[in-house]
Amino acid sequence: MPVVSIRHLTTYRYRTPVSFGEHRMLMRPLESHDQRILSTELRITPEPSLLHDVHDVSGASVAVARFDRRSDVLRVESRVRLEHRPQTPLADLADDVLGADGAFAYETHELPDLARAIVRRHADPDGEVAAWARRFVRPNGPTRLLDLLVEITGAIRGDFAYALRLQGAPQSPAETLARRSGSCRDFAVLMMEAARSLGLAAQFVSGYVYSASPKAGGRTGGGHTHAWTRVYLPACGWVEFDPTNGIVGATDLIRVAAACDPRQVLPLHGTWSGAPDDYLGMDVEVDVRVDADLAAQPAPRLRVAQGR
């Protein structure tokens, strides 16, 4: 199994020293049966007066920092090393099918926990997104959910042009359909809303992408954070679908957070106080590497808050 090293550096620059309010950092991958953290390191400049971890409403690990000094730079560097055991859904288990009305109905006991992930977040007044999703429903006979979602993943990958956009909210699904192009976030939102239009529970996933095999070539979305979709299939649980790269399952995908709304999974956000023209810009560097020759041995967790 791959041992993956992730370096994520964000730098904010200011004309003169400014003061900082609370900042929240969502950069630590989720630990689960397919992701095991071996070591983590967090370096922040200027040194925060308070730094602690919390779990947010989605269960993701968030580092919270508060500051008592001014600075003309805010630098947050996260380094993580983890063991990744990607799994793909077993086709023999994925026997869930859409209902005769072209929509899926979960068991009553699952609905309370899935309800927020089923509710659509974007208006679709002309039904364009729903109509696009129904293109993948078989006209005759049952439609297996896994087959349908694999086809949607492939359609976005094959029919839409990728356009890098690192800032700003995702496009609406209708915009992405009309433009036939978008960023990984736009594709994730489109697939999420298409799945929801069929009654499926879907979430927006934020994390990192890498390539464990030279045969796979470079994955689109590398060099910065990445986004994709996951959908709940009763027979398989939550299954990852990356329409940007055409990936089904967790191969080459490192989850940091999964939520019903993209606004819940921002890697870093906070406040600052100063003159309006003090802000000079932001730089983000993400480097994800596979330590192919290193043994996966547990390492202690290192926590550092380093000043200038």
Statement: residue 213 has pLDDT above 70? no
Q: Please compute the mean of the pLDDT values over residues 55-62 and round it to a whole number.
A: 93
Statement: residue 62 has pLDDT above 70? yes
- Return mean pLDDT, the chain: 89
Statement: residue 307 has pLDDT above 50? no
How is domain 111-251 classified at the architecture level of CATH? Roll (3.10)
DSSP state of 276: G
| 308 neighbors 72 (Cβ within 8 angstroms) | no
Using pLDDT thresholds of 50, 70 and 90, give the confidence band for residue 92.
low
- Rounded to whole angstroms, how far apart are CA atoms 78 and 207? 13
Q: Please compute the mean of the pLDDT values over residues 202-220 and round it to a whole number.
A: 77
Tell me, what's the pLDDT at 304?
40
Tell me, what's the pLDDT at 91?
60
Mean pLDDT lowest for which of 15-19, 90-94, 148-152, 243-247? 90-94
| 11 neighbors 75 (Cβ within 8 angstroms) | yes
| 192 neighbors 241 (Cβ within 8 angstroms) | no
Structure tokens given for 103: 């929509």
Statement: residue 291 has pLDDT above 90? no
Give start-end residues of each CATH 3.10.620.30 domain in the chain: 111-251
pLDDT digits (tens, 9 = 90+) for 239-278: 999 999 999 998 999 999 999 999 999 999 999 999 999 9
CB atoms within 10 A of CB 66: 14
Tell me, what's the pLDDT at 224?
80
Statement: residue 306 has pLDDT above 60? no
**Element (H or E) spanning 75, and its range?**
strand 71-84
Could you tell me what percent of the chain has a pLDDT over 70? 89
DSSP state of 144: B
Tell me, what's the pLDDT at 168?
76
Tell me, what's the pLDDT at 219?
72
Statement: residue 295 has pLDDT above 50? no
Helices marked H in the chain — which ranges?
111-118, 128-134, 145-159, 173-179, 184-197
Statement: residue 20 has pLDDT above 50? yes
| 234 neighbors 96 (Cβ within 8 angstroms) | yes
Query: 3-class SS at 182?
Result: strand
- Rounded to whole angstroms, how far apart are CA atoms 284 and 224? 7
Tell me, what's the pLDDT at 302?
38
Using pLDDT thresholds of 50, 70 and 90, give the confidence band for residue 216.
very low
- Rounded to whole angstroms, how far apart are CA atoms 122 and 145? 22
Tell me, what's the pLDDT at 300?
37
Using pLDDT thresholds of 50, 70 and 90, give the confidence band for residue 297.
very low
Q: Please compute the mean of the pLDDT values over residues 13-20 and round it to a whole number.
A: 98
pLDDT digits (tens, 9 = 90+) for 96-144: 888 888 889 999 999 999 999 999 999 998 899 999 999 999 988 889 9
Give start-end residues of each CATH 2.60.40.2250 domain in the chain: 3-85+265-290
- Rounded to whole angstroms, how far apart are CA atoms 147 and 152? 9
Statement: residue 30 has pLDDT above 70? yes
Tell me, what's the pLDDT at 233?
94
Q: Give the pTM.
A: 0.89
- The fold adopted by the segment(s) 3-85+265-290 is Immunoglobulin-like (2.60.40)
Any idea how long the chain is?
Answer: 308
Higher pLDDT, 293 or 85: 85
The answer for 297, left when phi > 0, alpha when psi is -120 to 50, beta otherwise, is beta
Using pLDDT thresholds of 50, 70 and 90, give the confidence band for residue 292.
low
